[in-house]
């Protein structure tokens, strides 16, 4: 497998929509990706695809986004942070390192952009391998859906992380109403 990771392009959007829908077996997450792109939280430089192959034979096999979110502290200050969501890999290609490569690259690019922190709602078994920890240990509250385990809210401090920054995650508008 020759994996190449790059920012998504408008020509990729149809393939990404199908990939995300297939990976989650739902149209909700694919719609979320579209909604993120239409919102001010969208960061095109941190919306990445993984391609297998090169040139005309390249196939998009994975996708991840890090968008802007806010952390509101008790004093009323607002801190802009990164939020990883969603991560998707073509079902037939899962468990081959594609998702891991996407997460590592997205986080490295967010760090290079000066982000202090990346948060997510995801598997407490999967994301710790990248350094994500239960966000509560960092003083961060993420209001999770009822079906999610309490440690699904996770955070990864980056190079410019300031441990005094604590608070409650305020999801960007595309996430409103999702359960």
Domain 3-173, CATH 3.40.630.30 — does that match? yes
Q: What 3-state DSSP class applies to 137? A: helix
Please state the domain extents for the chain.
Answer: 3-173
Supply the DSSP symbol for 39: S
* Burial of 106: CB neighbours in 10 Å, binned 0-12, 13-18, 19+: buried
What is residue 2's predicted lDDT score, i.e. its pLDDT? 83
**Tens digits of residue pLDDT in 37-71:** 999 999 999 999 999 975 566 899 999 999 999 99
User: What does the alpha-carbon distance between residue 106 and residue 119 come to, in Å, rounded to a whole number?
Assistant: 12
Q: What is the mean pLDDT of residues 3-26?
A: 94
Q: What 3-state DSSP class applies to 166? A: coil
User: What does the alpha-carbon distance between residue 47 and residue 11 come to, in Å, rounded to a whole number?
Assistant: 13
This prediction's pTM:
0.92
- What percent of the chain clears pLDDT 70, i.e. is strictly above it? 96
Model confidence at 179: pLDDT above 80: no
Q: What is the mean pLDDT of residues 117-130?
A: 95
**Tens digits of residue pLDDT in 75-115:** 999 999 999 989 999 998 788 889 999 999 999 999 999 99
Model confidence at 74: pLDDT above 80: yes
Q: What is the mean pLDDT of residues 17-30?
A: 92
If one compares 106 and 1, the residue with the highest pLDDT of the two is 106
- Of 86, 85, 90, the closest CA to residue 22 belongs to 90
Q: Mean pLDDT over all residues of the chain? A: 93
**HEC profile of 50-101:** EEECCHHHCEEEEEEEEEEEEEECCCCCEEEEEEEEEEEECHHHCCCCHHHH
What is residue 65's predicted lDDT score, i.e. its pLDDT? 97
Label residue 26 by pLDDT band (50, 70, 90). confident
Strand partners, 78: 72
């Amino acid at each position: 497998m020759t994996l190449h990771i790059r920012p998504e392009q408008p020509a990729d959007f149809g393939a990404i929509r199908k990939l995300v829908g297939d990976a989650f077996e739902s149209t909700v997450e694919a719609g979320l990706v579209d909604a993120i792109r239409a919102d001010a939280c969208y960061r095109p430089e941190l919306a990445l695809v993984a391609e297998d192959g090169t040139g005309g034979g390249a196939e998009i096999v994975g996708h991840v986004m890090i968008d802007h979110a806010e952390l509101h502290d008790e004093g009323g200050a607002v801190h802009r942070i990164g939020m990883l969501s969603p991560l998707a890999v073509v079902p037939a290609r899962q468990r081959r390192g594609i998702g891991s490569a996407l997460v590592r690259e997205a986080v490295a690019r967010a760090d290079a952009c000066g982000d202090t922190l990346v948060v997510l709602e995801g598997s407490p078994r999967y994301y710790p391998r990248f350094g994500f920890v239960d966000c509560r240990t960092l003083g961060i509250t993420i209001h999770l859906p009822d079906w999610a385990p309490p440690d699904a809210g996770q955070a990864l401090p980056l190079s410019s992380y300031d441990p005094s920054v604590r608070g409650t995650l305020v999801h960007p508008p595309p996430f409103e109403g999702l359960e």
